[in-house]
C-alpha cells in the first residue's frame, strides 16, 4: 500500500471509529434513514422480481452497524467491516453471533478464494482503493456468484455532494469505473473466469436542498420521495433526458 493510500485509509477508519450517529441533527438522521429505506426497498424489489438472488453463503462487506442486516439475517452471512466500533454497535443492536462478524480491510481480506455466492458492498467503494477492493471481492466470489454494489454515482444529473454532512474522503464512481475494471479483469483472467455486468440501474435520492425544511416537512418530502422513487427513476422523461440518479446499483456476475 502506498503511503498516500495508507493515510487515506487511516483517515476513513478514524472517521468511522468515531462515528456517532446519535449526535447528528435530526434532519441528518432522517436523511440517513431515508437512504437505508430506499436501498432496502430497491434490493427487495429486485429480489422479488428475480433480478437478484441472495444465494448463500453471503458476505456483506463494509456492513457498518448492520443497516441491511434484515435482508440477510436468515441466511448464512458473514458481515465484514474495518471499524470495530461499528461492529460493536451492530452486535449490541442485534442478536448476531460474533462468529458472523469480521473486522478486516476490504482491500486485503483474510478469506479463502471463492468463499461466497453473493457479496453485498453498499456505499463502501467510494472510500477505498477501488481496484484493490474489487480484486478482493471478485477473488472471494464463487463462479456464478453475484456481487451487488451500490455507490454514489459520479454521472448523476444532480451533481450535488451527498456527503456534505460528514467530512470523510470519498471518490465518486460511475458505470465507466466498473466497465474499465471488467475489461482489465477479463483480459488478465480469461482462462479462469470472466466478469460481466448482470444488471445496473441508477436511482434518485432526495435533493439536499430539502435539508432547509423543518423536520416534519422534510419527513413528508422523504415519504413522498420513497413512494414515487421507482416511478421517477423509470420515467420516460428520465431515460429520454438521460437523467441518471445519484446512486448507482450494479450487479457483477463471475462466470
Which positions touch ligand SAM (CB under 6 A)?
A: 9, 12, 16, 62-64, 67, 81-83, 86, 105-107, 122-124, 127-128
Q: In what order do the strands lie in the sheet with 77-81?
A: 101-103, 77-81, 58-61, 116-122, 141-152, 247-254, 195-203
Asked if residue 215 has a cis previous peptide bond (ω within 30° of 0), the answer is no
Distances 51 to 26, 35, 145, 172 between C-alpha atoms, Å: 35, 21, 13, 25
Report the DSSP beta bridge partners of residue 99: none
To the nearest whole angstrom, how small is the minimum distance from the Cβ of residue 158 to ligand SAM?
Answer: 19
CB of 177 to ligand SAM, least distance (A): 16
Nearer to ligand SAM, 124 or 218 (CB): 124
Which residue number, 158 or 163, has a Cβ lying nearer to ligand SAM? 163
**DSSP states of 146-169:** EEEEEEEBTT-SS---GGGGS---
**Dihedral of the CA atoms 94, 100, 106, 111 (nearest 10)?**
180
Amino acid at each position: 500500500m502506498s503511503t498516500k493510500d495508507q493515510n487515506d485509509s487511516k483517515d476513513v477508519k478514524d472517521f468511522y471509529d468515531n462515528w456517532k450517529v446519535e449526535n447528528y441533527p435530526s434532519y441528518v438522521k432522517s436523511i440517513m434513514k431515508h437512504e437505508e429505506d430506499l436501498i432496502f426497498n430497491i434490493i427487495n424489489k429486485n429480489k422479488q422480481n428475480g433480478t437478484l438472488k441472495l444465494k448463500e453463503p453471503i458476505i456483506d462487506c463494509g456492513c457498518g452497524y448492520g443497516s441491511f442486516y434484515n435482508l440477510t439475517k436468515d441466511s448464512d452471512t458473514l458481515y465484514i467491516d474495518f471499524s470495530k466500533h461499528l461492529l460493536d454497535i451492530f452486535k449490541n443492536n442485534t442478536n448476531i453471533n460474533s462468529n458472523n462478524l469480521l473486522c478486516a480491510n476490504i482491500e486485503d481480506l483474510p478469506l479463502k478464494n471463492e468463499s461466497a455466492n453473493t457479496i453485498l458492498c453498499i456505499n463502501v467503494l467510494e472510500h477505498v482503493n477501488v481496484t484493490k477492493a474489487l480484486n478482493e471481492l471478485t477473488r472471494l466470489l464463487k463462479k456464478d456468484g453475484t456481487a451487488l454494489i451500490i455507490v454514489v454515482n459520479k454521472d448523476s444529473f444532480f451533481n450535488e455532494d451527498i456527503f456534505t454532512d460528514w467530512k470523510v474522503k470519498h471518490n465518486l464512481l460511475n458505470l465507466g469505473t466498473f466497465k474499465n475494471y471488467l475489461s482489465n479483469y477479463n483480459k488478465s483472467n480469461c482462462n479462469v473466469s470472466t466478469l460481466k455486468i448482470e444488471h445496473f440501474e441508477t436511482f434518485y435520492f432526495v435533493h439536499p436542498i430539502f435539508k432547509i425544511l423543518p423536520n416534519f416537512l422534510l419527513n413528508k418530502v422523504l415519504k413522498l420521495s420513497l413512494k414515487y422513487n421507482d416511478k421517477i427513476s423509470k420515467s420516460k422523461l428520465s431515460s429520454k433526458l438521460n437523467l441518471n440518479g445519484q446512486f448507482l446499483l450494479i450487479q457483477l456476475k463471475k462466470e
